[in-house]
Structure 1
Amino acid sequence: MRPYNPPYAHIVVDSTTGRVLYQSDADRALYPASLTKVMTLLLTFEALESRKISLGSSVVFSSHAANMPPSRLGIKAGKSITVENAIKALVTKSANDVAVAMGEKLGGSEARFAQMMNLKARQIGMSQTHFENASGLHNVRQVSSARDMAKLAMYLMNSYPRYYHYFSLREFTFNGKVNRSHNHLMSTYQGMDGLKTGYIIPSGFNLIASAKRGNTRLIGVVFGGKTANARNAQMANLLDAGFAGKSLRTENLSPPPTTKLSQNTILTLAPPSKPASVPEQKQTASLLKKPTMTADVGSAGLTRTFAPTPSAQQLTGAGTWSVQIGAYQDRVSTDQAIYRALKTLPAPLNRGSAMVIPLRTSDARWVFRARIGGYTRTEALKACQYLDDCLTVAPNAN
């Protein structure tokens, strides 16, 4: 039987300027594996910064979290660890049980946390990314790209520099056991001080790495290494070329040829929320089609077709109330409004379901209504007390 060759992609970016130095299939939708945990950590840092949690806060493990497959820390259901130990376990051991427990703490459930992850991804501008879980365990719907992961790393480092030092941990001791980092390249590559590895069989060996030499900091992303050593060698080759400003040589490497881009190619994050042009009818019509998704894990990589947001009843079930917090001319603004509202609402109101409801106006334009659903009438009324320009929406209303 022929060995499986995972689909490959990479990108190297100057993190200060955003200039893309090298890329190969950087927008290809692939499986992120445990690179997913960088988003889980980002939302953890965000909660710390807003003082919703502290490093000493308890992270309690549900039976769902405790039963995650390896890699895991092995905490029993009902037991807890601190947020800081959770961060260390995610960075070093890449513990799946810890990722789920952290997601449940921040979102109330892993499914709800995945919604938060997707909203944040859209805010950052990760256009090829969709999350289904907090850990990166295989799910055919959970995909990202090298470019998106570089955006995520840049955003995390720029927004929460005080927490970046956790990614440089070489080991983490817990209950007398030493858990060593999976990122062995940090020990051998000059200037490397983070970030995160990832591996599942369909993805191959993935890596986000950041290294600084002099005044230059580079971020590299590799998807689809055949082995951990091959991935590390490719990352070192990419970063060496970036620091030296040379054309990349890929002899004896399995990935496809690399393209060096002009200096005016810039990796940018999503712009601030603002009104955009109204989507054309042709574009919006696809928004209303039945959800479809295909995935082909072969040499051609993944092909995705994401359907639009389901109807209100599909999201929350018939007979539940929702709140509407605005109507917008583009999806990015709509998603960001929902994200801000969910951050504003206290528990348990912040565990509602995010909903985007398209509406065609009388002048043949489209708007997207931002709603949060799954409430009783009393809960909906209470939620509106915390939100500006908020309307309650009765069950089965349009």
Structure 2
Amino acid sequence: MASNSFSVFSRGLSTVMTLVVVSAVLFLPLRAEAANPRYASIVLDVESGEVLSASNADAPRYPASLTKMMTLYLLFEAMEDNTLTLEDTFTVSSHAAAQPPSKLWVRPGDKVSIKDAILALVVRSANDVAVVVAEGLAGSERAFAGQMTDKAHALGMTNTIFRNASGLPDDLQVTTAKDMAKLSLSLMQDFPQYYDYFSQTRFVYNGKTHTGHNNLLDSYAGADGLKTGYIRASGFNVATSAVRDDRRILTVVMGGFTAKSRDIHTADLLDRGFVRAGLLNRHDWVASADVFDSANAVSRLNTRTSTARAPAVAKSERDISTTAKTTAATRINAGNTEQAVDDPIQRMIAKTDGSSLRPMDAWAVQVGAFRDPNGAKTLANQAVRQLDASLSDSRVAVTPSTREQGVFRAQLVDMEEGQARRSCAQLIQQGMECMVVRADVGG
């Protein structure tokens, strides 16, 4: 793929979140997240680096086979350093051949070319080949995992620890949705010449055709990479990049109950992300958030990342204490108990017309300001649907701004002050900007 296709990636990540474009891109209700503690997601506009939406993006999660994106990053780096070519080979060890599926079923003593190794990792998600690459680059998988963690921290993935090259279960191997987004962007930005591998859905090895797990590449128009992952402890994960109308959106979804529900949810996030990113160019959002309870706000990405990379952290900084790592694992494992619950990723948010009337009170929640009154109404109705039942009977109001001609405020009105603040806090937790205002205050 031509490198100029990825000129947009050089801008890195951004957290210009003071003014955030808001449309219908929202997250699962808090009650749904409570039913699935493994769930996390993040949606980015690649060109601007804008975080379009996020849910539990900083919470510790198991990466599963998303780990192999870092294995590939270090392999691509070695190729760019001219130490390897696509025709070079690595030798399969007994340790590598003994890895559990998914695998390529290579045997001790076999030679695997670098090209086949890349395809096996991307398409087949082969655990045996991940170890082949690790041993070929670092001598041992343990040493390679240390290099992976060092590189992760150098890329700004400060909440990630790697313990193996494949993503097979390890309680101490943790990451976050945000960190996986950083890794995905780094792969696209730093190695655009290899990105096309992530669009492959099948390859032939020793006369046998191997097909991939990433069904979004076939089912979602514009999707062209990156990687899926699954272990029991993590649920179904996926990092996906897609292009529509010359705009690229990146999503990371973690913790799906099934591959199908994960893919449906990812497609929905992408659809909404494209809509929301489109509003960025129209400058529809002109209100800022009043984060009166910042402790409950959804975490943002770090300050805009420079294309220059930070130096790798020292090993002493990388090796966090066993207690800290065990705590992180415990937080994840709290969500691994199987429960008879609906799949919150697949379940659609129940619709309401937001027309219930309440006695007139003095407070409102403003969720945005649009130049199109229909857009304002759509957003306000969406905000109502994000609230718990105890708060969702607020009345939607679209009123002209008293401060700027041609701007319409999207508000939830007829609230008491405490109700307004609780409502805004709940919306902020789900990634939606809002501010609490008196009902008679213009926007």
Structure 2: give runs of 5+ residues left out of the alignment.
Answer: 1-34, 279-295, 312-316, 337-443
In 2: Cα distance, 1:7 partner to 1:292 partner: 19
1:110 aligns with 2:135: no
Amino acid across the alignment from 2:207: G
1:100 aligns with 2:143: no
Q: Match of 2:235?
A: 204
In 1: Cα distance, 2:178 partner to 2:234 partner: 16
1:293 aligns with 2:325: yes
Q: Match of 2:248?
A: 217
SS at match of 1:72: coil
1:243 aligns with 2:271: no
Q: Match of 2:187?
A: 156
* Offset of residue 91 of structure 1: 0.4
CA separation of 1:289 and 1:69: change in aligned 2, threshold 3 A? closer
User: What TM-score do you get using the length of structure 2 for normalisation?
Assistant: 0.58
In 1: Cα distance, 2:215 partner to 2:41 partner: 19
Moved over 6 A (4+): 259-262, 264-267, 287-290
CA RMSD of aligned residues (A): 2.6
Worse-superposed segment, 290-299 or 11-20: 290-299
CA separation of 1:186 and 1:144: change in aligned 2, threshold 3 A? same
| Contact residue 155 and residue 310 of structure 2 kept, 8 A | no
Q: Match of 1:66?
A: 97
The one of 44, 54, 61 equivalent to 2:75 is 44
| Contact residue 209 and residue 221 of structure 1 kept, 8 A | yes
In 1: Cα distance, 2:325 partner to 2:166 partner: 21
CA separation of 1:265 and 1:208: change in aligned 2, threshold 3 A? closer
CA separation of 1:268 and 1:142: change in aligned 2, threshold 3 A? farther
SS at match of 1:293: helix
Higher relative contact order at CA 8 Å, sep ≥6: structure 1 or structure 2?
2
Q: Match of 1:123?
A: 154
Q: Match of 1:314?
A: none
Aligned residues: 275
CA separation of 1:173 and 1:260: change in aligned 2, threshold 3 A? farther
1:137 aligns with 2:168: yes
Q: Larger Rg: 1 or 2? A: 2
> What per-residue deviation string (whole Å, max 9, x for no partner) do you get for residues 81-136 of structure 1?
10000000000010000000001111111011011101100100001100000000
In 2: Cα distance, 1:261 partner to 1:124 partner: 22
> What per-residue deviation string (whole Å, max 9, x for no partner) do you get for residues 313-332 of structure 1?
xxxxxxxxxxxxxxxxxxxx
Percent identity over paired residues: 46
CA separation of 1:143 and 1:290: change in aligned 2, threshold 3 A? closer
Equivalent positions of 1:249-328 (< 5 A) are 268-269=304-305, 272-273=309-310, 292-294=324-326, 295-296=329-330, 297-299=332-334
> What per-residue deviation string (whole Å, max 9, x for no partner) do you get for residues 315-357 of structure 1?
xxxxxxxxxxxxxxxxxxxxxxxxxxxxxxxxxxxxxxxxxxx
| Contact residue 36 and residue 335 of structure 2 kept, 8 A | no
SS at match of 1:12: strand
